[in-house]
Amino acid sequence: MRGRYAGRSEEEIEEMVAVLAGVRDRVLGAADVQPGEMVLDVGAGTGLLTFGARKLVGETGQVVAVDISVDALYQLLGAAHAAGTAGITLQLGAAELLPLPDASVDVVLTRSVLIYVREKAEAAREFFRVLRAGGRVSLFEPVNRRNPSLSTVIDLAELAPLVDERHARRLDAADPMLDFDAADLERYFVEAGFTDARATVVETVQETVTEMLLTTPPAPGKKPLFDAWREEHGVQSAQRLAELVRAHGPRVDLTVTQVYLSARKP
């Protein structure tokens, strides 16, 4: 667990695990997973939803965990073996091209996956395709488009206009992490053929270690703010940004927007 939460204190790790458990329980609850069902976890990662669903489907049910990362699937496999958990099938695949036949599962689950998918509407159609009639989809996604500029929570002095300009520029980019909101997701699923599509927006305030704003990549493949700023504005400007951010104190409260969505295949 340390690798995943490097730089975090034990207290912070416990808080993050509790938050993830809450997300898991809400996604599973909205899916109404029943004993004996076949559940598909798309973008399973290391198995947060997979193991939760496995408990719910019981001995007669099955969970299929799909991910684009071989490493993640190996970790999930190791965790399943260590826990002595059977009834989990692992498959390599993507949300937009699922390696399953039509009408083969009762429930589709996903968490923080569509935010990395450029063709979100295609993913919704794939979820619809693999579900049986009456099947349910339940998901959770961060909605980064609605997150405010850093200058709204930290006094960035003379750098505030540059930070705001960078924030606005990122929102205009064709970035799958920023190109959608809750209404877009709901529309994709309705257009795919789902009924009872319901998106619930949740805004929460998360306490964050200030230093991590500078040094932690915002997503896989993205550069930390300090490195990206140094490349764009030079070393002195990056050092000034770090000085202003650190002057705020060891922690900062950030408002984050998230969406839970559930829907049913007729």
The tokens describing 105, both together, are: 């599962």
189-248 per-position pLDDT tens digit? 999 999 999 999 999 998 888 998 999 888 778 899 999 999 999 999 999 999 999 999
Q: Which residues pair with 253 in a beta bridge?
A: 207
- Which alpha helices (DSSP H) does 84-224 contain, by range? 120-130, 160-172, 182-192, 210-215
Secondary-structure percent of the chain, ordered helix, strand, coil, rounded to 5:
45, 25, 30
With 70 as the cut, is the pLDDT of residue 8 above it? no
With 80 as the cut, is the pLDDT of residue 173 above it? no
**Angstrom distance (rounded) from CA 88 to CA 46:** 12
Using CA atoms of 74, 5, 220, 68 in order, give the dihedral in degrees to the nearest 10.
Answer: 20
pLDDT score, position 1: 43
Q: Report how far apart, in Å, the C-alpha atoms of 26 and of each of 17, 18, 41, 176 are.
A: 14, 12, 15, 24
Q: What is the mean pLDDT of residues 35-56?
A: 98
How much of the chain, in percent, has pLDDT values that exceed 70?
Answer: 94
With 90 as the cut, is the pLDDT of residue 6 above it? no
Give me the chain's average pLDDT, please: 93
pLDDT score, position 12: 63
- Domains of the chain (ranges, CATH numbers): 10-148+174-207+255-264 (3.40.50.150)
Q: Report how far apart, in Å, the C-alpha atoms of 243 and of each of 97, 132, 151, 156, 236 are.
A: 45, 55, 14, 9, 11
77-119 per-position pLDDT tens digit? 999 999 999 999 999 999 999 999 999 999 999 999 999 999 9
Q: Which of 72, 113, 78 is closest to 94 using CA atoms?
A: 113
